Amino acid sequence: MRRSVIILFAKQLWQTTFRSKVLHITMVLVTVLIAFAAYSGWDNYNTQNRIRNFYQEEARHSWESNPDKHPHRMAHYGSFAFRLKHKLSLFDFGMENYTGNAVFLEAHKQNTINFSEASLSTGLLRFGEISMAMLLKIIFPLLIFYLGYGALAGERENNTLKIMINQGATWSEIFFGKSLGLMSLAMFFFIPVIIITLLFMFLAEGNPITSSELLSYFILILSYVLFFGIISSITILISAMSKTAKDSLIKLLGIWLFFIIILPKTLQAFGHYLYPTPSKIEFESIVENDLIKEGDSHNPDDIHYKAIKDSVLLANNVESVDQLPFNYGGFIMSQSEKISASIYNQHLNDLLTTYKSQNAIERFSAILNPYTAIKHISMAFSGTDFASYINFQHQAERYRYQLAQEMNSLQMKFIPNKKTDTPSIIDKSHWEAFPDFKYDHLPVLSILKNEALSIFSLILWSILSIIIVKKISKKTKVL
């Protein structure tokens, strides 16, 4: 293939496209949508993080402002954990508006994550929000289809395709030239998104941009470049195999509707049908029943904890808890916390396994559907996917458990077993000594591992697109 000829066909597609007045209107509309999506994403990021930081500081101030108290009262007083947004969440909102961003942390209990934007808004949010990622994943493929549906079918209708072949151009040169031209048109619209996203990441409030966030950004951009390359190749192939431009457009619209709208929704519903999950009330009832079976740590006459008491007295060679070198109540609370946390975690892991099974059906369709691949990659590297939500949930639970056990440890160490004339309290400096909750986003390596299938799918589709273009170019007819 001759590079000069390929570039010539790419330029020819550009010239033909830019002669259309419709394109100029499209450019204005796309520019307005990109600007609106970029600003709204940036504003939402700043506003939400400002609110979450404020209430995290308020929760911490409230915790530290407690007077001298019994440590077990502080364990039940609890605290809050807020999930700060990833900088790239201004690019892709993902699932974040539906999964919640705050959780109350207290002893003996794992609470659900609350305060999602969807729960606090009108039903209009269910129709989706305009984000830059939404435009790139859904609108841009439609735009590429529109720009390229007549690339070869139109030439065939005008009988110019036969002239190109007679003048010495090969099918491979025509195919790759048109694909390159269409891909460059896609990049013409995509480059402003690349620049604006990076600009707003640097302008975002909070901590300076990190190397991890920059790496996620570059992986994200590269993934979208591959995706647009695949879409461009599909467009040229369909155009080449269609007798008329109208026929090509109808086929491409059908592909867009099926692979981007119908198939993902159908597979999600199918996954939920195959792997049903209990309601919130059912789940909490199951957990509560298992907790009851393990006894009540607050009841001194409970059979289960009486057995623990007897073993502790025997191990320390004493006859009563008053003679123990540590506070027995604090010890029992620590054992109770271990048991309850184990039960909660077991049921939570079972529930998460069910959710993963539901999602797996749609995720595996990435092999057949590049839209599914780019959707999951985009959310993952923007910190707005299901794995990011679970990461926050696990971090919050670890912090809750550490807080409860630290209070139990303080009770064991400083609270006497025998009642005295002085109150059973400890100095408030212990509240200040316990660190505040800090949320860490998933590292890039973990995201790469989670999205290995989606990344493999994009690479596979890119390679197959080149191979298929070569194969089809040898079999395509002029008429």
Reported as a single tens digit per residue, the pLDDT across 395-421 is 999 999 999 999 999 999 999 998 887
Q: Which amino acid is at 468?
A: I
Predicted confidence band of residue 122 (pLDDT cuts 50, 70, 90) = very low
Residue 92: pLDDT above 90?
yes
The answer to whether residue 393 is domain-embedded is: yes
DSSP, residue by residue, 146-199 = HHHTTTTHHHHHTTHHHHHHHTT--HHHHHHHHHHHHHHHHHHHHHHHHHHHHH
412 assigned to some structural domain: yes
Helix (H) or strand (E) segment spanning residue 233: helix 211-240
The predicted model gives 45-72 an average pLDDT of 96
Residue 327: its pLDDT value, please?
Answer: 93
Instruction: Determine the pLDDT at residue 115.
Output: 56
Burial class of residue 265 in the structure, from the number of CB atoms within 10 Å of its CB (0-12 exposed, 13-18 middle, 19+ buried): exposed
Q: Residue 255: which residues within 8 A CB-CB, separation 6 or more?
A: 145, 234, 238
Residue 459 lies in a domain: yes
| pLDDT reading at 117 higher than 60 | no
Residue 392 maps to a domain:
yes
Which of residues 310 and 86 earns the better pLDDT score?
A: 86
The runs of H, that is alpha helices, within 317-443 are 328-364, 370-381, 386-414, 429-433
Span 181-207, pLDDT tens digits? 999 999 999 999 999 999 999 999 988
Whether residue 364 lies inside any domain: the answer is: yes
Q: Confidence class of residue 474 from pLDDT cuts 50, 70 and 90?
A: confident
Domain presence at residue 479: no
pLDDT tens digits, one per residue of 22-32: 888 999 999 99
Query: Residue 160 above 90 pLDDT?
Result: no
CA distance between the termini of the chain: 23
In the prediction, which pLDDT does 470 show? 84
Q: What span, in angstroms and rounded, lies between the C-alpha atoms of 163 and 46?
A: 57
Radius of gyration for the chain, computed over Cα atoms and rounded to the nearest angstrom: 30
Question: Residue 172 falls within a domain, yes or no?
Answer: yes
By C-alpha distance, which of 25, 45, 104, 189 is closest to 403?
Answer: 104
At residue 219, does pLDDT exceed 70?
yes
Residues 90, 92, 95, 101: what is their CA dihedral angle, to the nearest 10 degrees? -20
Q: Go through 286-325 and write b for each residue having 16 or more CB atoms within 10 A of its CB, e for each that does not.
A: ebeebbeeebebeeeebebbeebbeebbeeeeeeebeebe
* pLDDT 10s digits, 290-311: 988 887 777 767 777 888 888 9
Q: Compare 242 and 301 and report the one with higher pLDDT.
A: 242
Check residues 170 and 199 and name the one with the higher pLDDT. Answer: 199
Task: Lowest mean pLDDT of 154-168, 245-259, 295-309, 427-441, name the range.
Answer: 295-309
Q: What average pLDDT does the chain have?
A: 91
The pair of structure tokens assigned to 312 is 């502790």
The CA–CA distances, whole Å, from 74 to 79, 225, 426 equal 9, 52, 11
- Our count of domains for the chain comes to 1
Of all residues in the chain, the percent with pLDDT exceeding 70 is 95
Considering the domain boundaries, does residue 451 fall inside one? yes
Model pTM score:
0.92
Task: Give the pLDDT score at 423.
Answer: 87
Q: At what angle do helices 370-381 and 452-473 cross, to 10 degrees?
A: 140
Q: Which domain holds residue 466?
A: 3-473
CB 236 within 8 A of CB 151: yes
